[in-house]
Structure formats: C-alpha cells, structure tokens
A = this chain, B = another copy of it.
Amino acid sequence: MTASIITIGDEILIGQIVDTNSAWIAQQLGSLGIAVRCMMSIADTENEIEATLRSAIEQSQVVIVTGGLGPTNDDRTKQVLLRLFGGTMVSHGATLEHIRKLFAQRGKPLTESNRRQADVPSSCQVLFNASGTAPGMMFERDGHVLIALPGVPFEMQHIMETSALERLAQFAHTDTLYIRHAVLHTFGIAESHLSERLQAFERSLPSNIGLAYLPSPAGIRLRLSGSGGQRDTLEQQLARAMQMLEQEVGDYAFGHGETSLPLEVGKLLQQRGQTLATAESCTGGKVSHLITSIPGSSAYFKGGVVAYSNAIKQSVLGVSPNALECYGAVSQEVVGQMAEGARRLLSTDYAIATSGIAGPDGGTETKPIGLIYAAVSSEHQTVIERFQFGNLRHVNMERAAYSVINMLLAMLRKKGR
C-alpha cells in the first residue's frame, strides 16, 4: 500500500518555511506499513490543487493533503474536494459549536469567514480538530482514501494522533505488507570505502531488504529497510542482516537507532561517574556546544576553554612557549599540551582538544587549510591524531569537532584503531 503526501501553500514554494509536515506524516505512515512514494508541495491555486489531487488519488491508495484550509481568501482546497468527491457544502454542527466557544473564550466576535470554517463537503467524514478551527476531512472512493488536514503542524499532528491514524490503520489492515527499518551509525570512514567494504554484504541481502547510505558531518548512517507479509519473519531477517552489517563495519560503527557521538560519549561518562573538559582552538566552541547539546550533560561536562589566541593557550592552558615557537600552534605537541592543560585546569578525568587551520585564510604549504590536530587526554595517556580535511571553514570545524568526540568514544570503549 503506497501513499502520496501533498502540502499546499505558497510560503513553502518561495522557501519561506521548510515543510516539516511531510517527514512527520511519513514516519507515522511507515509505522502503519504504508510506504510513501511521493511528496509534493504545490501552489494555492484551484487548478494546481485539482490536477495534483486527481493524479495522486489515481496513483496512490492513500493521499494525505495538508494546508489550504485556513479562513483567508487564499485557501481553495475545500472547493476542489467538493468537485472531486461530489455532494454539497454543509455546515458541521460540532465544529461550528467548537469555533463559537473558542471565539467566546478569547472575547472576539465571530465573523462570516470564521463561520465558513465549519463548512465541509457532505461526501466527507469529519476528523474533529480540537486544537484549531479548520476540521480535518476524510474521503473514500473505490478503495482509495484521501485525508485533508490543516497545515499548522500542531493542529495537523493533533488530528492525526486523535483520529486520522486510527482510521488509516483500519483502512490499511486489508493490506498485509509490513515495513521495518534499522539504522547503524558509523564514523571515520568515507562513503566510497564503506560501499566497497559492503559490496558482498549488499549482494547477499534477500531481495526484500535494501541498504541506504545517509552521510552527514556527524557520520554515515546505514539504514536497512525491509518489507514483507509476515511480521515475525521480516523482523528476524532484519535482525540477521543487522548482525552481519555490524560485523562488516567493525569498529567504525558506534551505535543504533536514534543516537549520536555526543550522546554515546555522554552515556558512558555518566554511567562511570567520570568527567570531561574541552580545549578548543580551530573548532571555536563547537565541541563543547555538541557535548552540551545533550540534556543532562552537566552531570559529566565541567567546562572548557576556547583558546583562539596563542597567548591564551599559554596563560590559561599552560602550553609551553617553547612548543608554540618550535612547532607552531597547529602541531601534535601543542594540541597534546592543550588537552593535558585543560584536564589539569578543570580537574577532569578526560579532556579533548583541537588545533588546526579551518580556513579560508591561514594556510601554508606545509600546513594547508583543513589540517587539524586533535587530542584526547586521560590520567593514563594522551592520544593524538592528524586529519586533513577540505577547504570549507564551517565543514572543517564540524568534522574536526565530531572527529575528536569520536576519538574520545574510542578511548572510553578501549578500542584500538
């Protein structure tokens, strides 16, 4: 069973707002075993809406439409739905009563356009909207279903959760295709190398399971997606495939499902009652920002120093003037001393440090833009790595930040690399 998701509104087409409704709806449909084949954003004109809805309802058994139901003149969706599904426009009693109450509560007069919000085609089942004024509508014909919802995210979500999803589940139940996903997070290996490493694995996958690569500066997520008529069989197949995938990926894998490098590091530090500090040069605060973006990070993160100038590296972190002079700020000697200095200054179990040339200026022949040193220091050892990234400042800062957090995770897990 497949679905199309259609969002209506000029504010999306001019790029003024990002459409987040479609992703949310897709997740909900996925959990019912309904696969989305297409998402579309279109303009708020009757012609465009009519042509798009006609073709969507032919191609998909489920069509979800959001937007185009407000009280202002630029909303045409209800007229189109009336033409497509027939009937007459009628006022929905419970919705009109609800609108009256809302306006009375706010002490505002009820206008004609407010009253018209309760009008719906007689061919629909109303999905009551307790969180706003525009009701949801569900139309069925020849084994296809169309649900129209307001575009405001919390109203849309509220109607989906209180009534639309249940109706869809009943509708989808005639179909027996289950869809399941499983995600493995990796870091520190390029997409092309990962894909070569996984060639044989991909070929060995049963035809109902597929592998996708989702790269970002925070790592590459590997997603296994499977479909099948037997839920238990599908889940067993997916579990087996994930086990094999983990073996192939080895130490580059760092977690499953909804996670991130800062979250994995945080879990281990919190479990062990250990603490962390940061000393940043080229990343300029990005590392501590990532660490503190995790709720509850104050349990293990004591603080950090952004040592952008050499004077601060000396005076606050205690880097030796000698090391700065002989090797320069971007060197393994200095980054190691920065990590050790931060650990001492802030009295923590671990400290991580970065020093590099983020760009766009400051590169030389021997120290080009994108050269980054990173260090992790514990009571027992200081580990230093050298990275050569690309030419873009913000990407270099982000990759350096995730790389040093990954080094810390490796040390916490006592992996050799």
A107 to B74, CA, bound (A): 57
Question: Is chain A's binding surface mostly helix, strand, loop or mixed?
Answer: mixed
The smallest beta-carbon distance between A186 and chain B, in angstroms, is 13
List chain B residues, Cβ under 8 A from A130.
Answer: 391
Q: Is the CB of B17 within 8 A of A12?
A: no
List chain B residues, Cβ under 8 A from A390.
Answer: 102, 131
The answer, yes or no, to whether A78 is at the interface (CB within 8 Å) is no
Q: Is the CB of A13 within 8 A of B36?
A: yes
List chain B residues, Cβ under 8 A from A193.
Answer: 108, 111
A105 to B71, CA, bound (A): 58
Q: Is the CB of A395 within 8 A of B131?
A: yes
The answer, yes or no, to whether A43 is at the interface (CB within 8 Å) is yes
The smallest beta-carbon distance between A269 and chain B, in angstroms, is 13
Q: Given contacts A38-B42, A285-B292, A302-B308, is CB(A131)–CB(B17) below 8 Å?
A: no
Could you tell me which residues of chain A, from 345 to 371, have a CB within 8 Å of some CB in chain B? 345-347, 359-362, 368, 370
Q: Given contacts A25-B15, A285-B306, A289-B289, is CB(A10)–CB(B225) below 8 Å?
A: yes
Q: Which of B17, B24, B308 contacts A23 (CB 8 A)?
A: B17
Q: Is the CB of B105 within 8 A of A192?
A: no
Residue of B nearest to A55 (CB): B55
The answer, yes or no, to whether A191 is at the interface (CB within 8 Å) is yes
A380 to B183, CA, bound (A): 55
Residue of B nearest to A39 (CB): B41
A41 to B288, CA, bound (A): 35
List chain B residues, Cβ under 8 A from A327.
Answer: none
Q: Is the CB of B305 within 8 A of A303?
A: yes
Q: Is the CB of A284 within 8 A of B295?
A: no
Q: Is the CB of B41 within 8 A of A12?
A: no
The answer, yes or no, to whether A174 is at the interface (CB within 8 Å) is no
List chain B residues, Cβ under 8 A from A43.
Answer: 37-38
Q: Given contacts A12-B23, A391-B130, A391-B131, is CB(A213)–CB(B154) below 8 Å?
A: no
Q: Given contacts A285-B287, A302-B308, is CB(A14)–CB(B30) below 8 Å?
A: yes
The answer, yes or no, to whether A309 is at the interface (CB within 8 Å) is yes
Q: Is the CB of B361 within 8 A of A296?
A: yes
List chain B residues, Cβ under 8 A from A204.
Answer: none
Q: Which of B39, B288, B302, B309 contacts A298 (CB 8 A)?
A: B309
Q: Is the CB of B213 within 8 A of A316?
A: no
Q: Is the CB of B278 within 8 A of A306?
A: yes
Interface string of A107-151 (1 = CB under 8 A from B): 110010110010000000000001101000000000000000000
The answer, yes or no, to whether A267 is at the interface (CB within 8 Å) is no
The answer, yes or no, to whether A256 is at the interface (CB within 8 Å) is no
List chain B residues, Cβ under 8 A from A291.
Answer: 284-285
List chain B residues, Cβ under 8 A from A303.
Answer: 305-309, 312, 316
The smallest beta-carbon distance between A291 and chain B, in angstroms, is 7
Q: Is the CB of B312 within 8 A of A192?
A: no
The answer, yes or no, to whether A247 is at the interface (CB within 8 Å) is no
